[in-house]
Amino acid sequence: MHCKGNKSRNQDRVDDCDAAKEGVTRSGECAGCARRAWPPGEIENFMSSASWFWLIVFLVSSFAAGALGSWFTAASVSTWYVSLNKPAFNPPNWIFGPVWTILYLMMAVSAWLVWRSAGWADGRVALTLFFIQLTFNLLWSVVFFGLRQPGLAMLEIVVLLATIIATAVAAMPVSKPAFWLLVPYMAWVAFAGVLNFRIWQLNS
């Protein structure tokens, strides 16, 4: 009887160990599923022809706005802008090109991630706001450098910043990476707004 009791208890331990191992295996499988970045077939779909097409559309839209803005900037940046009084924290002119190149790239990828996550139907608010802020982005260059109106440009950049924030907020529920890609853009435009305000003050 004593031996049978020991065997029974030993068998229970073996069963418990098997159950524990099975649980660990299942947990490991679940953890593996959680860690897997893409569902089956999603990698192929992620860079499909349509996906490439819309990425190019967002890139072209962003850099086209930048190119048009540069066209208005070029006529004044080496003439009128040089003659303005500027605050001590005014960055050197060479820094604007690289910064804006990176920002246009990031905002294009942000819009693309929204499209990837939600499509045009569910992402229409964030994507519509994206194109609205892009328009105001271009208009700032037109007003500040084209019309040479720092005071009016200061008001315009407030609207621009508001539309960027609205775009980021609309993107957040759809794609958090899309939101974070817009944060440097928001920070730079906020800085540009302060710079715009000080230039207007110093030259009024």
Residues 75 and 155 in one domain: yes
Q: What is the extent of the structural domain holding 11?
A: 1-36
Residue indicated by tokens 């794609």: 175
- Three-state SS across 66-111? HHHHHHHHHHHHCCHHHHCCCCCCCCCHHHHHHHHHHHHHHHHHHH
Inside any domain, residue 43: no
Write out the chain's pLDDT in tens, 204 residues. Answer: 444 444 445 454 444 444 444 444 344 444 444 434 445 555 555 557 788 899 999 999 999 999 999 999 998 998 999 999 999 999 999 999 999 999 999 999 999 999 999 999 899 999 999 999 999 999 999 999 999 999 999 999 999 999 999 999 999 999 999 999 999 999 999 999 999 999 999 999
3-state secondary structure of 6: helix
Check the CA dihedral 76-80-83-87 and report its sign: negative
Inside any domain, residue 193: yes
Residues 95 and 68 in one domain: yes
- CA-CA distance, 70 to 60, in Å (whole number)? 15
Please, what is the end-to-end C-alpha distance for the chain in angstroms?
A: 104
Neighbours of 3 (CB within 10 A): 7
Q: What is the pLDDT of residue 197?
A: 98
Residues 181 and 132 in one domain: yes
Residues 16 and 80 in one domain: no
- CA-CA distance, 31 to 95, in Å (whole number)? 45
CB 174, CB 122: distance < 8 Å: yes
- What six digits make up the tokens of 78? 């080496």
Residues 96 and 168 in one domain: yes
Q: What is the pLDDT of residue 34?
A: 41
- CA-CA distance, 79 to 95, in Å (whole number)? 18
Q: How far is CA 181 from CA 85, 109, 147, 191, in A?
A: 33, 8, 31, 17
Q: What is the pLDDT of residue 44?
A: 53
Q: What is the pLDDT of residue 46?
A: 53
Inside any domain, residue 141: yes
Residues 84 and 174 in one domain: yes
DSSP state of 37: S
Provide the CA 78 distance to its chain's centre, in angstroms: 31
> What H or E segment, with its residue span, contains residue 190?
helix 176-202
Residues 113 and 176 in one domain: yes
